[in-house]
Amino acid sequence: MSDIDRVIRQHEGPSRTVLEYGQTVEKLVKAAKAPGFGPDGWAPLAELVATHEFVRVGNFKEEMNWQEYTSFLGNWAASAEWDCSFKRVTEANGVVFLELEERSTVGNFHSVVNSMSVYEFSGDGRIRRIDVYLQMELPSSELLQGYDGVEIAT
């Protein structure tokens, strides 16, 4: 059993959903490189998400709905290597705070960031909003190229 599987088994409710979401993202980022992986490949992730009301506020304050987010994930995952190390999960008043160390490589660019994502839930226990916060070195223009077509707040 992997470390993340052990962590997941120790939680229930919204915290468990968030940990399963992260584990599913990691699996799908790997799967996205296979021929024929398309928008339907994100279906396992959609099972955890209230797709009709979903909002993700990302690293640069960009907001994406579910369709925009899975399109972004598809473009990013096709060329990225990504993994993470679990730090901490905290649940308070139905909101979950997940802290990770994330490592990614896109082309020749490699980054290691500390992230905290704040997850809010719909009435049926699905993720409806994710706000992402990062501690990172100033990104290079190479990293920002992955955000072509995404409005970045300045």
pTM of the model: 0.83
**pLDDT surpasses 70 at 13:** yes
The fold of 3-147 is: Nuclear Transport Factor 2; Chain: A, (3.10.450)
Distance CA 19, CA 99 (A): 11
Going by C-beta distance under 8 Å and a sequence separation of 6 or more, which residues neighbour residue 112?
101, 102, 103
Using a pLDDT cut of 90, give the percent of the chain over it.
54
Q: What are the sequence ranges of the domains in the chain?
A: 3-147
pLDDT in tens, 66-113: 999 999 998 888 888 888 888 999 999 999 999 999 999 988 888 899
Considering only 19-33, 96-110, 133-147, which range has the smallest mean pLDDT? 133-147
Going by C-beta distance under 8 Å and a sequence separation of 6 or more, which residues neighbour residue 15?
89, 91, 96
Total residue count of the chain as it appears in this document: 154
Side-chain-side CA neighbours of 76 within 13 Å: the count stands at 23
**pLDDT surpasses 70 at 153:** no
**pLDDT surpasses 70 at 142:** no
Q: What is the pLDDT of residue 114?
A: 96
